[in-house]
């Protein structure tokens, strides 16, 4: 094992040398300094520390505010689950925009990790969903709403198809992306049945006064052009014990979050006391995102 790592490091080192000579003519702006970074999962604790520090400096300089980039690992005996009460949701999109504020997606290309769908009552056919409803007031007569975001599948089809292992499921069940390892092939986007994955078609742009400097390496740290990103259940918050931003933003309290392994958690209460369903369960993705109805609406 020791041997293998050092061989790989050697290969990388040669690649760096080769690359450096090739790139010496290129301007730094084109390729950036991230070309020869190690994959996050293979970094030693010291390397992680170094990288986090470097990123903090880089982001702090770029956005003019003190950044914190953490890599808080998963807690033991925690498996995150999410509940969404369809009998409550009014489709106001507060969650969508709270998520944007929290997670630093590009404002210019308008990346949003949550999509609110408006459905006619009596219909659950996504093909008949309206994505762009914009009435004066919600809820609207005769409609209900289904917000969709990453379902944090236990059997994630997106992870399986990634050719370079740039995305994986963490021990607490969150599916994350190493933005520095993603090659931007977008196979995961084709594989995701929930359209949870978003691509940076352009260099992300976030106004300085809208940046959230409290970040996680695998979560809301600023991304770059050409990589895929997705909802991480606000890993930067939830790994610290806090609720995700969408849960706190929901004005009707339709969003529930907690530890599936804790019998006293809110999410377990939902599963045990209400009838829940998961989107496209026939695809065997085993989402940890449970839709439920706490009452008639």
Partner 1 sequence: MRRQFNTNPIFMVTLFLVGLVPVLDVRAGSGQDLSLSPAGVLSSPLFPCSTCHAGMEPNLQKRALSFHPEIKIQGHGEPRRWCLDCHDAGNRDSLRLLNADTVNFNESYLLCAQCHGNIFRAWKAGIHGKRTGMWDGPKRYVLCTSCHNPHSPRFKPLKPEAAPLRPEETLRR
Partner 2 sequence: MAVTAFQEIILFLRGLSRVVFVGSKAFYGWMSFLTIFVLLGVWAYLFQWREGLYVTNMRDQVSWGFYISNFTFLVGVAAAAVLLIIPAYLYSFKAIKKIVVFGEFLAVSAILAALLFIGADFGRPERFWHAIPGLGTLNFPSSVLAWDMIVLNGYLCLNLFISLYVGYYHYYGKEPKKAILLPFILLSIPWAAGLHTVTAFVYNGLAARPFWNASILAPRFLASAFCSGPALMIIIFQVLRKLTDFRIENKAIAKLAEMIAYAMAINLFLLGAEIFKEYYSDTHHLSPLRYLYQGLHGHNRLVPWIWTATAFNIIAFLLFLTPRTRNNLLTLNIGCALVFIGVWIEKGMGLIIPGFIPDTLGEIYEYMPSRFEVMISAGIWSFGAMLYTMFVRAAIALDTGRLRHPDAPPVVHEEEKGPRARDIMSTRVIAVRPETSIEEVSKLLVSHRISGLPVVDGDGKIIGVLSESDIIFREIHHEPHLVEKLGDMVLPRNLRASDRTGSTAGEIMTSPPLTAQEETPLKELVQIITERKIKRIVVVDKDARPVGVVSRIDIVKALEHISA
Footprint of partner 1 on this chain (CB under 8 A)? 78, 83, 85, 90-94, 96-97, 109-110, 112, 115, 131-139, 238, 241-243, 247-248, 250-253, 255-259, 262, 264-266, 269-270, 273-274, 294-295
**Rule CB under 8 A: is residue 194 a binding residue for partner 2?**
yes
d(CA 198, CA 189): 7
Q: Shortest gap between Cβ of 119 and partner 2 (angstroms)?
A: 10
Q: Shortest gap between Cβ of 253 and partner 1 (angstroms)?
A: 3
Q: Using CB under 8 A, which of 74, 161, 261, 271 touches partner 2?
A: 161
**Rule CB under 8 A: is residue 276 a binding residue for partner 2?**
no
Beta partners for residue 147, in sequence order: 116
Beta partners for residue 257, in sequence order: 82
Site string for partner 2, 108-127 (x = CB under 8 A): -x-----x-x-------xxx
**Of the candidates 207, 228, 226, the residue with the CA atom closest to the CA atom of residue 108:** 207
The strand pair at 214-216 and 228-230 is best described as: unpaired
Q: How many CB atoms lie within 10 A of CB 190?
A: 11
CA angle 214, 215, 221 (to 5 degrees): 135
Residue with the two structure tokens 């986007």:
189
Q: Which is nearer to partner 2, 127 or 209 (CB)?
A: 127
CA 63 to chain centroid, in Å, comes to 21
Residues that bind partner 2 (CB under 8 A): 7-8, 11-12, 15, 30-31, 35, 39, 42, 109, 115, 117, 125-129, 131, 148, 157, 160-166, 181-187, 189-195, 197-203, 225-228, 283-284
């Amino acid at each position: 094992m020791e041997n293998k790592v050092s061989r790989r490091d050697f290969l990388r080192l040669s690649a760096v040398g080769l690359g450096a000579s090739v790139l010496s003519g290129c301007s730094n702006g084109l390729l950036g300094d991230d070309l020869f970074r190690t994959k996050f999962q293979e970094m030693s604790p010291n390397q992680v520390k170094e990288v986090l520090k470097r990123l903090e400096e880089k982001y702090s300089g770029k956005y003019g505010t003190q950044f914190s980039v953490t890599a808080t690992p998963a807690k033991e005996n925690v498996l995150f689950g999410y509940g969404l009460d369809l009998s409550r949701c009014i489709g106001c999109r507060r969650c969508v925009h709270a998520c944007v504020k929290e997670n630093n997606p590009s404002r210019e290309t308008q990346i949003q990790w949550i999509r609110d769908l408006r459905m006619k009552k009596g219909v659950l056919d996504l093909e008949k969903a309206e994505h762009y409803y914009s009435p004066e007031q919600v809820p609207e007569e005769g409609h209900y709403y289904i917000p969709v975001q990453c379902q944090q599948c236990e059997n994630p089809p997106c992870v399986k198809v990634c050719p370079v292992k740039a995305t994986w499921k963490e021990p607490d069940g969150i599916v994350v992306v190493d933005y520095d390892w993603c090659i931007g092939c977008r196979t995961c986007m084709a594989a995701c049945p929930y359209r949870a994955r978003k691509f940076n078609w352009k260099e992300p742009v976030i106004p300085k006064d809208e940046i959230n400097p409290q970040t996680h390496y695998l979560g809301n740290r600023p991304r770059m052009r050409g990589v895929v990103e997705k909802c991480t259940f606000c890993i930067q918050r939830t790994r610290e014990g806090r609720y995700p931003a969408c849960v706190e933003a929901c004005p009707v309290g339709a969003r529930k979050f907690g530890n599936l392994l804790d019998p006293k958690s809110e999410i377990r209460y939902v599963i045990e006391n209400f009838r829940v369903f998961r989107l496209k369960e026939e695809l065997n993705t085993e989402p940890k995102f449970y839709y439920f109805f706490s009452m008639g609406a």
